[in-house]
């Protein structure tokens, strides 16, 4: 907000990043990554400044993981520096070597805008797969193209998710502040599990509650009835990371 005018500055529409390309349909119940396509230019939040790096200086690295087009034109994608100039396929293959043992499932009955944020967080914490329960189409804006680096599986309803999880030997852990829920802060989350999230407002559906092995609540201390669904998902995933992930000690890099 400008201190002189008191008006909120908005980036002109022509300068804003475009929406990710709509994915192609996949066979029911199969995991997939998004099809290869040019990614929209990424921007730092609020400043409309492109992120990333420009063309790679010569000589170019001789490694099949690098994309000649990105080396020539620069890499403005929403990826970490370690993956600059890599092809999308090479990034996914590298992530597949290190993915964690938890899955993230989110109900999608009303096209909740928070789903994109949940997907982006699942990528940051390197979830094994993402499961969309309900409508196949979901709001991708908040994902910031991170879904292209994840394996996404669609389930038409909670029963289908439950059947898949049972076949994989994965308990479903619901996250919602409901009567009878156990505190997440005092719960030992299983290493292999599915973290199931509801939608903004209604939370987990009755069917989801019935199929969950247990439901965990997140401690709150203020006056609000609940926290944002995307924030709740981030807290739950980080709780899993604290218990099970191999977190490097930054002091070892010094």
Prediction pTM value:
0.80
- Asked if pLDDT for residue 228 goes beyond 70, the answer is yes
The two most distant CA atoms of the chain are separated, in Å, by 62
| In the chain, ranges of CATH 3.40.1280.10 domains | 102-244
**Preceding omega of 74 cis (within 30 degrees of 0):** no
What residues contact residue 133 under an 8 Å CB cut-off, 6+ apart?
105, 106, 107, 108, 155, 157, 158, 160, 161, 196, 208
The DSSP H or E segment spanning 197 is: strand 193-197
pLDDT at site 2: 37
pLDDT at site 30: 56
- Asked if pLDDT for residue 219 goes beyond 90, the answer is yes
Mean pLDDT lowest among 23-32, 85-94, 120-129: 23-32
Q: Tell me which DSSP letter residue 106 carries.
A: E
- Choice between 119 and 110, residue whose per-residue pLDDT is larger: 119
**Residues 99-123, mean pLDDT to the nearest whole number:** 93
Q: What is the pLDDT of residues 152-179, one digit of tens each?
A: 999 999 999 999 999 999 999 999 999 9
Q: How far is CA 64 from CA 23, 75, 81, 141, 241, in A?
A: 26, 16, 18, 31, 32
Q: Closest Cα to residue 104, out of 196, 232, 212, 215?
A: 196
What is the C-alpha separation between 151 and 170, in angstroms, rounded? 17
The mean pLDDT of the chain is: 85
Question: How wide is the angle at C-alpha 137 spanned by C-alphas 132 and 143, nearest 5°?
Answer: 70
CATH architecture, domain 102-244: 3-Layer(aba) Sandwich (3.40)
What is the percent of the chain with per-residue pLDDT over 90, rounded to a whole number?
A: 69
pLDDT at site 226: 87
3-class state of residue 216 by DSSP: strand
- Choice between 225 and 69, residue whose per-residue pLDDT is larger: 69
- Asked if pLDDT for residue 67 goes beyond 80, the answer is yes
With cut-offs at 50, 70 and 90, classify the pLDDT of residue 202. Answer: confident
What residues contact residue 196 under an 8 Å CB cut-off, 6+ apart?
105, 106, 107, 133, 161, 172, 173, 174, 175, 204, 208, 212
Q: Packing angle between helix 114-124 and helix 229-244, nearest 10 degrees?
A: 20
pLDDT at site 252: 66
Q: How far is CA 88 from CA 16, 75, 215, 225, in A?
A: 23, 12, 36, 41
pLDDT at site 248: 83
pLDDT at site 5: 34
């Amino acid at each position: 907000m400008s201190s002189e005018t008191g008006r909120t500055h908005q980036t002109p529409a022509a300068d804003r990043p475009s929406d990710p390309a709509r994915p192609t349909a996949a066979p029911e119940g199969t995991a997939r990554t998004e099809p290869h396509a040019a990614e929209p230019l990424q921007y730092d939040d609020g400043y409309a400044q492109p992120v990333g790096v420009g063309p790679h200086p010569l000589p170019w690295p001789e490694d099949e993981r690098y994309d000649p087009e990105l080396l020539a034109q620069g890499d403005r994608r929403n990826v970490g520096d370690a993956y600059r100039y890599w092809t999308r396929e090479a990034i996914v293959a590298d992530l597949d070597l290190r993915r964690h043992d938890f899955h993230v499932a989110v109900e999608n009955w009303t096209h909740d805008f928070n789903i994109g944020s949940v997907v982006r967080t699942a990528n940051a914490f390197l979830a094994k797969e993402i499961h969309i329960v309900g409508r196949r189409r979901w709001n991708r804006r908040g994902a910031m193209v991170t879904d292209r680096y994840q394996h996404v599986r669609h389930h038409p309803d909670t029963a289908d998710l439950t059947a898949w999880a049972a076949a994989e030997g994965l308990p479903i852990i619901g996250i919602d502040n409901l009567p009878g829920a156990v505190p997440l802060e005092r719960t030992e989350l299983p290493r292999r599990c599915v973290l199931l999230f509801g939608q903004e407002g209604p939370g987990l559906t009755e069917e989801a509650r019935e199929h969950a092995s247990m439901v965990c609540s997140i401690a709150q201390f203020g006056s609000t009835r609940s926290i944002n669904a995307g924030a709740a998902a981030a807290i739950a995933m980080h709780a899993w990371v604290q218990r099970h992930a191999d977190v490097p000690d930054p002091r070892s890099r010094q």
